[in-house]
Structure 1
Amino acid sequence: MPYRVLVVDDDPTVSDVVRRYLEQDGHQVRLAADGAGALAAAESAPPDLVVLDLMMPGIDGLEVCRRLRRQWPDLPVVMLTALGEEADRVLGLEVGADDYVTKPFSPRELVLRIRSVLRRSAPAAPGLEPVVLHDAGLSADTGRRIAHLDGMPLALTVREFDLLVFLLRHPAQAWSRTDLLEKVWGWRFGDQSTVTVHVRRLREKIEQDPAQPRRILTVWGVGYSYEPAA
């Protein structure tokens, strides 16, 4: 199905290339050249996904992502960045980006990443029986893609929800960051700090004390495991 995608980049050449590839993939595309334009475009017609450049004059991509997340917590965001340092990529993930692609990038790779995020963000098809996973006040409805903690809805990004569901489905098992990249993100290679950041963000939302987690545990020398309530 066609999705509404907002592409935000101050480089018109990049924007035009991304627009053409997304339109060829069947999507409806709007362009914004700066952060202020992006926020105005999203407000006037909320998109299904945002492709967002990190470095822009005025309101940069990080601040745009923060503001989008405050208003639409589950809006998928794919960050574009020309910065190669891991710290810069991590910062984009910290403010809520679901995925990132580093410039220069392959437009086809970007389209595939966008397909993946959109596919995971979509509710289950009508007629499918939803599966609701539970553990000590925490629940995740895989059909409607919503999660609750003690009856209160959780504002999870696409990848945070996917990570939570995977861990709830595989309790008391240790998973390396490489394992989680492949099984949750569908990547056979990539920056493992992506997993670290998403685990930290998820802990902040489901743990009573994120500094002393009792649900998502660190398994030293391996990775992470989900410990169900006794």
Structure 2
Amino acid sequence: MKLLMVEDNKSVSEMMAMFFKKEGWDAHFAYDGNEAVAIFSEDPTSWDMITLDLNLPGLDGMQVSAKIREISQAVPIIMLTARDSESDHVLGLEMGADDYVTKPFSPITLIARIKAIHRRAEMSANATNAPVNDNPNDFDITTDHFRLNSNTREAFIGETEIRDLTPKEFDLLKTLAQKPRQVFSREQLLQLVWDYEYYGDERTVDAHIKKLRQKIEKAGPQVIQTVWGVGYKFDDSAVAADEK
């Protein structure tokens, strides 16, 4: 794995360099936002992962993430920050981050997050590059009012496509839709969608659910429901009511 860590605290970078070396990863480091964008821009397709501190000299982490996303939608970004509010989580995801780790963090936890996001990115790339069946009705998830095709990475409410889903939002929607009306806890969704054990950061799920719902509502009635005190479920029964 070729990884770029953008972190202005050299002590943190030096500590993580040891862990990256142990994993056998090709790790590179940038210490301010402008440097990070310049390094990434030299060869965007060569990078497998970016860890990005929020508080940086020059361009801050949000600005760096936005500029990287202008160049590449594919490279996974894990945002690192001492900020710990839901609004920061949501804003980071809106700027293109795939995951969000709050400082101080355990190096082992960060390594696990990186591995999980990398595995998911490879799975998404393989699905995107897989041969696509020419039959437009070949959907692997179909309910009365919802269809999802994993090969084309498309999802529809009725005849309207849910547009601009990120890889993580698509995986989250697919996981819920595979078992309609089953309630998934946040811990379960972290394991199934992010592919890592629960480390206490449920807001990663909540922030992605918020963005996913916004995109669903542009296509039709809401199909992701909150079960208070438990988690989330897929339920498209409201689509029929809305169509009457």
Alignment TM class, shorter chain as reference? 0.7 to 0.9
CA shift, 1:137, in A, is 7.0
The 8 Å contact of residues 140 and 165 in structure 1, kept in 2 or not, is answered as: no
Query: Is 2:180 aligned against 1:164?
Result: no
The 8 Å contact of residues 117 and 158 in structure 1, kept in 2 or not, is answered as: no
Unaligned runs of 5+ in 2: none
Unaligned runs of 5+ in 1: none
Aligned to 1:12: 10
* Counterpart Cα distance in 2 of 1:138 and 1:40: 41
| 1:70 to 1:106, Cα distance in 2 relative to 1, 3 A | same
SS in 1 for 2:74: coil
Query: Is 2:234 aligned against 1:226?
Result: yes
SS in 2 for 1:207: helix
Of stretches 53-62 and 24-33 in structure 1, the one that deviates more from structure 2 is 24-33
The 8 Å contact of residues 5 and 29 in structure 1, kept in 2 or not, is answered as: yes
Superposition TM-score, scaled by structure 1 size: 0.79
* Counterpart Cα distance in 1 of 2:64 and 2:191: 29
Aligned to 1:196: 206
The 8 Å contact of residues 74 and 156 in structure 1, kept in 2 or not, is answered as: no
* Matched-pair identity in %: 39
Query: Is 2:177 aligned against 1:179?
Result: no
The 8 Å contact of residues 137 and 151 in structure 1, kept in 2 or not, is answered as: no
Of stretches 109-118 and 156-165 in structure 1, the one that deviates more from structure 2 is 156-165
The 8 Å contact of residues 76 and 157 in structure 1, kept in 2 or not, is answered as: no
Of stretches 41-50 and 21-30 in structure 1, the one that deviates more from structure 2 is 21-30
* Counterpart Cα distance in 2 of 1:101 and 1:121: 18
Which residue type is aligned with residue 174 of structure 1? V
- Equivalenced residues, count: 224
The 8 Å contact of residues 10 and 33 in structure 1, kept in 2 or not, is answered as: yes
Which residue type is aligned with residue 121 of structure 1? A
Q: CA RMSD in A?
A: 3.3
2:223 to 215, 220, 226: 215
